[in-house]
Amino acid sequence: MDQACPSPPCPVPTNQRPLEEYRQLCASWFFTWPAVKASGLIRPLAWCWLISLPLCLLIASGSWPLRHNLPRLVLVAAVFAVLPAVFLLLRQWLGWSYVHRRLRSERVEYEESGWYDGQVWEKPLAWRQQDLLVALHEVRPVLARLELGLGMAAGLILLGTGLCQAL
């Protein structure tokens, strides 16, 4: 999966090449959660929820009406404890979708010196094919897992909100 530069030298710095950005995401502790398997994503999000729950209980207990309704207090805290997990999922989705978009693109936008001198370089056909394969078979399933996780989190928030209204 190595992107060798074609005979004319490749002007894109190594760390700004889409395949290298994909490798950096795969090497990152945070971004590998959804890349491994579904349980690799669920476990850290469950821990995030469990860690957030006491803080949310403390904050919700400051509400006078909730203080006298213990089931509603716990439910409101449980719903709000889902929000940090949603933010983590959203950050992961943004990172993976950025790499997905760069892998699928026919051109690579890059900075030569970091002084906002943006350049555009058209990928050779071999790079396009390789990047497209990685985007479709490696990155797209990760995005699907993240979208499923975001959908489930939204469903939990809506369900908890509906139950809270019923109490």
pLDDT tens-digit series, residues 123-144: 888 889 999 999 999 999 999 9
- CB burial of 53-87 (b: ≥16 within 10 Å; e: otherwise) equals beebbeebeeeeebeeeeebbebbbbbbbbebbbe
Is the pLDDT higher at 66 or at 97? 97
For the residues 22-30, what does the mean pLDDT come to? 92
Q: Does some domain include residue 13? A: no
Is the pLDDT higher at 165 or at 83? 83
- DSSP codes, 15-61: GGSHHHHHHHHHH-TTTTHHHH-HHHHHHHHHHHHHHHHHHHHHHHT
Q: Does some domain include residue 84? A: yes
Q: Does some domain include residue 48? A: yes
Q: Is 22:1 a contact under the CB 8 Å cutoff?
A: no
Domain count, the chain: 1
Q: Does some domain include residue 19? A: no
Residue 72: what pLDDT? 87
Q: Does some domain include residue 26? A: no
For the residues 89-116, what does the mean pLDDT come to? 88
The label of the residue with tokens 């889409």 reads: 18
Residue 70: what pLDDT? 86
pLDDT band at 114 (very low <50, low <70, confident <90, very high): low
pLDDT band at 3 (very low <50, low <70, confident <90, very high): low
Q: Does some domain include residue 2? A: no
Structural domain including 124 reads 39-109+119-166
Q: Does some domain include residue 131? A: yes
For the residues 85-111, what does the mean pLDDT come to? 93
Query: What's the burial of 10, exposed, middle or buried (CB within 10 Å: 0-12/13-18/19+)?
Result: middle
Q: Does some domain include residue 25? A: no
For the residues 52-77, what does the mean pLDDT come to? 86
Q: Encoding tokens for residue 38? A: 């579904």
Query: What phi and psi values does residue 120 have, to the nearest 5 degrees?
Result: -130, 130
